[in-house]
């Protein structure tokens, strides 16, 4: 059977892994796809590297536009990343009738609506399994495996770098900055780790999952994004004493008023399976009304795990290449005319539980003042911990866990608590999900 021809843009780690796995499992992949999948062209600025990875049979060029316009190419795999030239190339590939497979979560989270609309119009597919949680087939699960369900919420550890840092902070009791340096030395964190540690990468992925879970447009600009840079080792320790772990979660939840879409450090009960996902591993927990909770776990990055997702998309596209475009799986899981513009709720409308750490004077009436303020905002206390002051110390830490409440009530309570004479400095606030 005639092979399907693939043009690869960018031959870094994932591109190399894609070559390795396609070659190693060639026979089985062909048996699955129904015809051979061949990478026939590679574009990369580093021609020497491209030659050494791709071998002699592949056309190597530093002109990516010559690949996306090549009439011999059926599928373009975009592994360049970012929103710049990658966007131009993806749109050009679509314009030229190519299907696109991409690992580029930033591009789709920000420009996905435009890209999917262009693909729809042209009758081509844009597949993006590798964009979320690397090798975990979470896009497939959400879009197809769970399609009987009304998905209620999902919560994921979808950034390996930050999960590695949080695991190390907890294990070794070290501050964030020290662990980040170590992660960079070991090659876990990028030289510029901003997107990872500030939660942006996780928010890109959460944005894509929210769209296919709820049938809403991609709306990265509406996501609440908070990273782990301000997280203190003391809070990890206090959380542990109360039976919780702190993870950077990407959360999407359906509420009657709209959708919550948020990324932030989150306390989760240590007995939950997802609380025990350590190191650079990823996991996504999805709650559907029919199936209940389902958990997906695996490697969120790396050459072969990400190649596994890229090649799964290549197989899917190859199988559906000749199918009527109207009868393929829709890009965002719901039929394009059924995508609904449900609002993404602002963070002060979010409903969750809270961890509050207060530095207080150790004297009568302090706790009574604080609990009165919380009660006035209808915030119910779930648990409390007071650190025993050291010998001669006049201040101590109080940790309060709340039941579910609306964020703006907590904002008001925090402002009032901070204005008490008996409270020193800022209140540390973290969110808590019982999942
Ligand atoms: N930088 C990401 C992470 C991997 O640390 O998980 C690619 O999505």
The pLDDT of residue 220: 98
Distance in angstroms (rounded) separating the CA atoms of residues 314 and 101: 7
CA distances from 231 to 89, 100, 208, 257, 421 (A): 39, 39, 26, 30, 25
Which two three-digit tokens encode residue 217?
A: 């447009």
pLDDT tens across 357-401, in order? 999 998 899 999 999 999 999 999 999 999 887 888 889 999 999
Distance in angstroms (rounded) separating the CA atoms of residues 144 and 286: 13
Q: How many CB atoms lie within 10 A of CB 321?
A: 17
The pLDDT of residue 189: 78
Q: Which CATH architecture has domain 347-432?
A: 2-Layer Sandwich (3.30)
Give 262 Cα–ligand 1 centroid separation in angstroms: 17
What mean pLDDT is predicted for residues 175-190?
A: 88
Residues in the chain, total: 435
Distance in angstroms (rounded) separating the CA atoms of residues 247 and 276: 10
Q: Please give the positions annotated as active site.
A: 205
Nearest protein CA to atom 7 of ligand 1, as residue = 301
Give 2 Cα–ligand 1 centroid separation in angstroms: 36
Query: Which residue of 79, 195, 301, 302 sits with most ligand 1 atoms within 8 Å of its CB, as the best mutation to test the pocket?
Result: 301
Inform me whether the pLDDT recorded for 188 exceeds 80.
no
Distance in angstroms (rounded) separating the CA atoms of residues 315 and 332: 19
Decide whether 138-298 matches 347-432 in CATH topology. Answer: no
Torsion of CA 281, 284, 285, 288, to 10 degrees: -160
Distance in angstroms (rounded) separating the CA atoms of residues 143 and 336: 13
Q: Check: CB of residue 131 under 8 Å from CB of residue 310.
A: no
Burial of 364 (C-beta count, 10 Å sphere; 0-12/13-18/19+):
exposed
Q: Beta partners for 283?
A: 157, 297
Q: How far from the centroid of its chain's Cα atoms is residue 110's Cα? A: 14
Give 162 Cα–ligand 1 centroid separation in angstroms: 9
State the maximum Cα–Cα separation within the chain, in Å, rounded to a whole number: 83
Inform me whether the pLDDT recorded for 414 exceeds 80.
yes
Q: Beta partners for 274?
A: none
Residues near 56 by beta carbon (within 8 Å), at least 6 away in sequence: none
Question: Which residues lie with the beta carbon below 6 Å from any ligand 1 atom?
Answer: 159-161, 196, 201, 300-301
Q: Check: CB of residue 370 under 8 Å from CB of residue 420.
A: yes
Distance in angstroms (rounded) separating the CA atoms of residues 333 and 338: 10
Q: Beta partners for 402?
A: 381
Distance in angstroms (rounded) separating the CA atoms of residues 127 and 382: 44
Closest C-alpha to 302, from 416, 431, 188, 174: 188
SS3 44: coil
The pLDDT of residue 392: 84
- pLDDT band, residue 44 (cuts 50/70/90): very high
pLDDT tens across 313-336, in order? 999 999 999 999 999 999 999 999
Indicate which atom in ligand 1 lies nearest the CA of residue 131: 8
Burial of 154 (C-beta count, 10 Å sphere; 0-12/13-18/19+):
buried
The residues spanned by each domain of the chain are 4-135+303-338, 138-298, 347-432
Nearest protein CA to atom 8 of ligand 1, as residue = 301
Query: Which residue of 17, 80, 128, 134 sits with most ligand 1 atoms within 8 Å of its CB, as the best mutation to test the pocket?
Result: 134
The CATH H-level superfamily of 138-298 is Dihydrodipicolinate Reductase; domain 2 (3.30.360.10)
Burial of 173 (C-beta count, 10 Å sphere; 0-12/13-18/19+):
exposed
CA distances from 103 to 35, 60, 322 (A): 23, 21, 23
Nearest protein CA to atom 4 of ligand 1, as residue = 301
Position of tokens 């005319």? 337
User: How many Cα atoms within 13 Å fall on the side-chain side of residue 133?
Assistant: 26
Give 383 Cα–ligand 1 centroid separation in angstroms: 35
* Averaged pLDDT score across all residues of the chain: 96
Q: How far from the centroid of its chain's Cα atoms is residue 266's Cα? A: 14
The pLDDT of residue 257: 96
Query: Which residue of 104, 196, 202, 302 sits with most ligand 1 atoms within 8 Å of its CB, as the best mutation to test the pocket?
Result: 196
pLDDT tens across 223-279, in order? 999 999 999 999 999 999 999 999 999 999 999 999 999 999 999 999 999 999 999
Q: Check: CB of residue 333 under 8 Å from CB of residue 143.
A: yes
Phi/psi class of residue 408: alpha, beta or left (left: φ > 0; alpha: ψ in -120 to 50)? Answer: alpha
Inform me whether the pLDDT recorded for 56 exceeds 90.
no
The pLDDT of residue 34: 97
Pairing of strands 405-406, 351-361: antiparallel
The pLDDT of residue 114: 98
3-state secondary structure 58-95: CEEECCHHHHHCCCCCCEEEECCCCCCHHHHHHHHHHH
If one looks up domain 4-135+303-338 in CATH, what number appears?
A: 3.40.50.720
- pLDDT band, residue 186 (cuts 50/70/90): confident
CA distances from 403 to 251, 270, 356 (A): 18, 17, 12
End-to-end, the C-alpha distance of the chain in Å comes to: 49
Give 279 Cα–ligand 1 centroid separation in angstroms: 12
């Amino acid at each position: 059977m005639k092979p399907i021809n693939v043009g690869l843009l960018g031959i870094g780690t994932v591109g190399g892994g894609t070559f390795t796995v396609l070659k190693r499992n060639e026979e089985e992949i062909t048996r699955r796809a129904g015809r051979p999948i061949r990478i026939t062209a590679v574009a990369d600025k580093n021609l020497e590297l491209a030659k050494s990875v791709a071998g002699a049979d592949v056309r190597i060029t530093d002109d990516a536009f010559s690949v996306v316009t090549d009439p011999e190419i059926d599928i373009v795999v975009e592994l360049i990343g970012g929103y710049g030239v990658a966007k131009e190339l993806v749109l050009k590939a679509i314009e030229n009738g190519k299907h696109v497979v991409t690992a580029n979560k930033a591009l789709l989270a920000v420009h996905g609506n435009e890209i999917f609309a262009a693909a729809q119009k042209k009758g081509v597919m844009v597949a993006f399994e590798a964009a979320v949680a690397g090798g975990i087939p979470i896009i497939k699960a959400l879009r197809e495996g769970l399609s009987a369900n009304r998905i209620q919420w999902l919560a994921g550890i979808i950034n390996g770098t930050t999960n590695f840092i949080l695991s190390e902070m907890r294990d070794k009791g070290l501050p964030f900055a020290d662990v980040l340096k170590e992660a960079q030395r070991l090659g876990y964190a990028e030289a510029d780790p901003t997107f990872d540690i500030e939660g942006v990468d996780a928010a890109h992925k959460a944005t894509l999952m929210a769209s296919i879970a709820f049938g809403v447009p991609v709306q990265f600009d509406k996501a609440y994004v908070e990273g782990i840079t301000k997280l203190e080792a003391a809070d990890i320790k206090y959380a542990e004493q109360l039976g919780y772990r702190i993870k950077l979660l990407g959360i999407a939840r359906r509420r009657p008023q709209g959708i919550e879409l948020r990324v932030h450090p989150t306390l989760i009960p240590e007995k939950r399976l997802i609380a025990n996902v350590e190191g650079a591993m990823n996991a996504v927990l999805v709650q559907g009304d029919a199936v209940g909770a389902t958990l997906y776990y695996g490697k969120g990055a790396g050459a072969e795990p990400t190649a596994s997702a890229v090649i799964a998309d290549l197989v899917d596209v190859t199988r559906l290449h000749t199918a009527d475009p109207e009868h393929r799986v829709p890009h965002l899981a719901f039929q394009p005319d059924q995508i609904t513009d449900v609002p993404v709720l602002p963070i002060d409308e979010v409903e969750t539980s809270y961890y509050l750490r207060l530095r207080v004077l150790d004297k009568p009436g302090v706790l009574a003042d604080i609990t009165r303020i919380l009660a006035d905002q209808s915030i119910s206390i779930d648990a409390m911990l007071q650190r025993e002051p050291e010998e001669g110390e006049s201040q101590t830490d109080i940790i309060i866990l709340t039941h579910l409440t609306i964020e703006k009530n907590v904002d008001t309570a925090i402002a009032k608590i901070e204005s008490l004479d008996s409270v020193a400095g800022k209140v540390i606030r973290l969110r808590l999900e019982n999942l």
